[in-house]
Structure 1
Amino acid sequence: MSLYRWLKRQRFTYSKIGRLVYMVEDHEHNLQPKIKWLKSINVHGSDLATALTRDPIVLEKTIHSLNENVELIKAAGVRSEWIGWVIRRCSKVLACNKEELQEHINFYTRLGIKDDNFGKMVYKFPACLARFSVEEMHSKVLYLKAFGLDDLALGKVIASKPQLIACSIEEDWKPLVKLFYFLGIDGYGLRKILTIQPSVFCLNIKDNIAPKVRFLRDVGVHEELIGDVLVKFPSFLSYSLDEKIRPCVMFLLEKAAVPVDKVGKVLSIQPDLLRCSISQKLDVIVRFFIFHGFKREQVGLMVTDFPMLLKYNLSSIKPKLSFALRVMKLPVEEVVKFPRIFSHSLESRIVPRYKILRKRGLNYNLRRMLACSDDEFMRSLDENGTNDVDTELEMEISVNADLSAETNIEISEQSDLESQFTARYIDDMPDLVMSGQLDVDTSEFRWDNAPNPGAYKVLNGENAVDAGVYEVFDGENLSDEYWHCEFFTDRVRK
């Protein structure tokens, strides 16, 4: 009876106590020492019973042999403070013999996974150390190497996502590869997805990947570009559709005023916009432009033409916008026509070329001024009747003292203004809207406002499944009930 009480104090359930008493004859000299030893390596509570009952062979082994296994994985790179966690998650590490455990360690060592990298991998997924046979792991490695990876590259992939070892080639990987090939992703694309976002190969196709592929199609990404989007930004497939992807697309539609039929284009060009924080990144950029006199529709046009704009930091955008509006005296509309001004260096391209044009009395628009190489720019000056272009360009690229001073003063004044804006625009935005200083478009995106024709068909109930995807999923209908709605934005929001 004292044994029952003692086991109950160790948080053993009655069912586990019954199993242990049935399996172990010499409780005092076998069971209790094992439990005390497990507690010494930080295995506590219900994990004690799980470790002993899940792999009963642990009860038959001596404490000396159990210690040998622990010392072996510690020597391979698993930290002492992690041992308890590893045993709690995979007691088979203790159940297997020393030679078998060493064989598993050698398997990973041949892939370049050793020392601290090995320890971190085992901590992430302890089952990778003993739950699968070496033959099974070897077959999975050979399959992944067929994508064009060598041992070291594949070792890095497995070390970052050891759960790959638990996946099935037939049930998980082959259907996924078939779907990717259907989407136009070749061997290079598969290799890139595997190395950048290996967790994609652990995702369920039906529950995780297929809905996101359909979503890209629904928002207007052309069928032939969906594969390119996934290769450009593999992390897209690991994001939550409801918590991350849809809110970002809704922001592009409603706050950034990207036209409904252009959202697909924006995502095709810059799919990693979905990585950005809406509140800390995207909304800050949009509000900044609105504060400086841009209409929301103009911001939408700039984002459509140059989606990368939303990824720039304000510290990069501010001086270029200040120079364009205050020094070059350009209207806002000129910046809207060429948002790529923010991709060019202020010091090495924008200012030097503006100085040259100003000295010659020439008036170029931003596109003609910046969207060309130095040679093309000099030839355009030649065509306008300038002489000694090469010599003068070298002279003008060195800083002109007078204009440089004027520029610095203008930028300094504007920086002060923008610092005040940065400190208060979030709190004052409602007041600015109410006072009419900001133009906020709250209109709905109805179907009569240039809907995407393909999405229109989907939203009116037609089957969105083409024959290829239908075949991949063994004929299962991939359409879902929420494709019927009145507004396109409602579809995205759901």
Structure 2
Amino acid sequence: MEDTLLHFLSNIKPSPLPYPKAHSFPLSHHDYCPALSCPRTLHFPTLSSKTNTASLPPKPLKTPETPSVSSHHIPPPPQSPPQEPPNTEFQEKILYLDSIGLDISSLINHHRPFILSASLSNIKSIIDLLTSMNFTPQEFRRIISMCPEILTSTPSTVTPVITFLLREARVNGYDLKHVINRRPRLLVSSVKYCLRPTLYFLQSIGLEEVKRHTYLLSCSVEKKLLPRIQYFEKIGFSYKDAVSMFRRFPQLFNYSIKNNIEPKLNYFVVEMGRDLKELKEFPQYFSFSLENRIKPRHQCCVEKGLCFPLHTLLKTSQEEFMSRIDVCCNSSVPSRSSPLYSVNCDVDSSTNTE
């Protein structure tokens, strides 16, 4: 309402005759704006006698508003941050690793965090230590690809491992290189919390010459070794028989329960219909391929009506296996369902080379 009134007053034209002096006009109650609920003091313009113009009270200054950004407004391109100087130490690491014949592209693509976290001096000291053991660049590449944590190790952490292997695990000095090549993770395993407890466990189950199975020393007893023994107890073996299987075939500790042991065990029991006692005598069964060795040979025997001992079925070469099949078929060997099978079908008794 006030804006409307000011607009109205601004359009008033002064009289051509100048007033002798400025006057103020009182406003009666008839002149109040009906839309206003209470009277207000209104300031009319003051007429100047010199200029014959009306002066209005100054309008309040408006605070300048921030102009709205139009949807079509394109912001200026961001300024590129200042480029950081190249990492000289990282380049030195790469040049050094390349100089000893390592695959640099593979290291950067797959093991970059380990290169970044390892200092150049530590890398050189570890390489010097391995060089003193006569490892070739090809062996370096394989060891680091299998266990890149070695790059972050130091001689003070690796030396106790080598001492443990030689003195406690009884590894011969000329076999040390072979042991590390087979299981590089040994070099980054704790002697106190991993290697020594596993050694004591393997010795406690009667495993002789642990030095022939040093690849097991970096395995956790609680997370890997004991769960596999307990699995065979659950499927019907006694603890004594389960331990006997692992003692006869320690590689069984390294096989996955879900991806290896379970599917082969199910086929052995359901499809082959054999007794678990055979597994106790021949735990190497789990080392053979289910699709490429176990199934084809079992199906071949089923078609011919034959049944070989488990070690004969799997351990013989393909030529020897087929030769035994021919001998059995041409000699009219009784089938497994024959009453004479238990007496005459063990064709392996005279030719077993084990």
Task: Say whether the fold is shared (TM-score over 0.5).
Answer: yes
- CA-to-aligned-CA distance 1:304-362 (integer Å, 9 cap, x gap): 54555248669x9xxxxxxxxxxxxxxxxxxxxxxxxxxxxxxxxxxxxxxxxxxxxxx
Match of 1:138 among 189, 196, 218: 196
Deviation at 1:254, TM superposition (A): 1.3
Please list every run of 5 or more consecutive structure 1 residues that lacks an aligned counterpart in the other structure: 1-20, 317-494
Mark the CA change 1:84 to 1:209 in structure 2 (over 3 Å): closer, same or farther: closer
Q: 1-side partners of 2:233 and 2:155: how far apart?
A: 43
Match of 2:148 among 82, 85, 91: 91
SS in 2 for 1:148: coil
Mark the CA change 1:35 to 1:66 in structure 2 (over 3 Å): closer, same or farther: same
Q: Which residue of the partner structure matches residue 212 of structure 1? A: 264
Please list every run of 5 or more consecutive structure 2 residues that lacks an aligned counterpart in the other structure: 1-82
AA aligned opposite 2:186: C
Q: Which residue of the partner structure matches residue 156 of structure 1? A: 212
Q: 1-side partners of 2:251 and 2:93: how far apart?
A: 37
State yes or no: 1:101 paired with 2:158.
yes
AA aligned opposite 1:40: S
Mark the CA change 1:306 to 1:141 in structure 2 (over 3 Å): closer, same or farther: farther
Q: 1-side partners of 2:114 and 2:179: how far apart?
A: 23
Q: Which residue of the partner structure matches residue 282 of structure 1? A: 321
Query: Matches of residues 55-66 of structure 1 in structure 2 within 5 Å?
Result: 55-58=115-118, 60-62=119-121, 65-66=122-123
Report how many aligned residue pairs link the two structures: 266
Mark the CA change 1:84 to 1:171 in structure 2 (over 3 Å): closer, same or farther: closer
Provide TM-score, normalisation by structure 1.
Answer: 0.47
Q: Indicate conservation of the 8 Å contact 1:92/1:131, yes or no.
A: no
Deviation at 1:69, TM superposition (A): 1.7
Q: 2-side partners of 1:89 and 1:169: how far apart?
A: 22
Q: 2-side partners of 1:221 and 1:84: how far apart?
A: 45
Q: 1-side partners of 2:100 and 2:328: how far apart?
A: 58
Mark the CA change 1:312 to 1:282 in structure 2 (over 3 Å): closer, same or farther: farther
**Which structure has the larger Rg?**
2
- CA-to-aligned-CA distance 1:132-180 (integer Å, 9 cap, x gap): 5642232222322220236xx122112xxx1x34544334322321233
Q: Which residue of the partner structure matches residue 54 of structure 1? A: 114
Q: Which residue of the partner structure matches residue 294 of structure 2? A: 245
State yes or no: 1:37 paired with 2:90.
no
State yes or no: 1:295 paired with 2:332.
yes
Provide TM-score, normalisation by structure 2.
Answer: 0.63
Match of 1:190 among 219, 240, 243: 243
AA aligned opposite 2:117: I
SS in 2 for 1:118: helix
Q: Which residue of the partner structure matches residue 347 of structure 2? A: 309
AA aligned opposite 1:41: I
Greater relative contact order structure (CA < 8 Å, 6+ sep): 1
Mark the CA change 1:289 to 1:155 in structure 2 (over 3 Å): closer, same or farther: closer
Q: Indicate conservation of the 8 Å contact 2:225/2:253, yes or no.
A: yes
Query: Matches of residues 405-420 of structure 1 in structure 2 within 5 Å?
Result: none
SS in 2 for 1:48: helix
Q: Which residue of the partner structure matches residue 8 of structure 1? A: none
Q: Indicate conservation of the 8 Å contact 2:114/2:152, yes or no.
A: no
Q: Percent identity at matched positions?
A: 17
Normalized per residue, which structure has more helix?
1
Q: 1-side partners of 2:313 and 2:187: how far apart?
A: 35
Deviation at 1:300, TM superposition (A): 8.5
Q: Which residue of the partner structure matches residue 359 of structure 1? A: none
SS in 1 for 2:103: coil
Deviation at 1:26, TM superposition (A): 5.4
